[in-house]
Structure 1
Amino acid sequence: MASLALKTVARLAQAGRTVRAISTTVPAASGHDDIMEKWPADKFDKHFIDYLSRPEIDGWEVRKALTELHDYDVIPDPKVVEAALRACRRVNDYALTLRFLEALKIKCGTQKNRETIYPYIIQQVKPVLDELGISTPEELGYDKPELFIPQPEYWWEKKWYADYGMDKKPNFQI
């Protein structure tokens, strides 16, 4: 397969067409270092704040930056969250702001951490949320399922019962 690709590239180059090189190398498994060793926290935050604070940023770039930020195994600093919220507002994508806040809550980890870290971040960015007119998912009622009907015969749903306070006595009719 690789030889066919090389033959096609050679044929296109002979025909006078410009050929763009595509890298197919895979990094070695031993090259995976911790993010903070490669990138100190202040530079990490500055990179995302600078990228998201650009006035000419478009919706695709905002989504790209938020995806990259989410891929790292860190909970972003409130200043990075503020820059992300301002960027989402600049491109007028309210749904993205809500999804970003939901992903941030999920990224905080366990229920215990969600009760300490996530409220701290929301408290720190509350002035920006008020300034931009953004409601949190909790204020909109998106933190609770709207049409969730528990089915006890499914074992994998049992953790959801505890998360949403339905583990006591069922208060639903099927």
Structure 2
Amino acid sequence: MISAPAAQSRESARQASGQFGTQPHQEAAGVTLVPNAPSDHRLQELATARESIFHQWNDLRDTAPDSPLFETIDALHQRASVQLAAAAVLTRHPDAETLVVRENEDGENQYDILRLEGRSGSIDHSVDSPLIEGELNPGGPDLDESLWSLNLKDDGWALGIAEDISDPRNGKMFRIDLAAALGTTISTMPAAHR
């Protein structure tokens, strides 16, 4: 609440010079404000965390590939990979909601990107797009490489963050909820993989 003398002074100033009056301004065109898009700093933090887990995974793969610890680190690596992929996509496409991946058509043990979806449908699905080529953020993480970390034979990585939309024509497919994947932490990893 403003005092009466202050309100009177403000009104006098408005009438005299217009300094405190309402000023018309053009709204910014083509600008979308999205508070949940990760920053470049956050993207780098996620890439560093995933890299650290990858080194543990790589060491265990060589020394104890059949150990329960390797299974745990493998599950962590997959979740960190999906989280990094989600951050990379949302940095470039803050209006995106889901990323659809499918089993590699050439029989390689990996998932490939099929399309990116937003509220109004497909955002990017052209074969030559930077998204499909994995070159989403120049100098940033390779999206394809992140998704290649996912195990085709164990869908544990998808629990709580992706929907299985497989069909006989397209094979094994998942729709990854980008917000859920970005919100994933090691402490929210599915209990079956801890």
The higher-RCO structure (CA 8 Å, 6+ apart) is: 2
The two structures have a TM-score, normalised by structure 1, of 0.30
Whichever structure has more helix as a proportion of its residues is 1
The two structures have a TM-score, normalised by structure 2, of 0.27
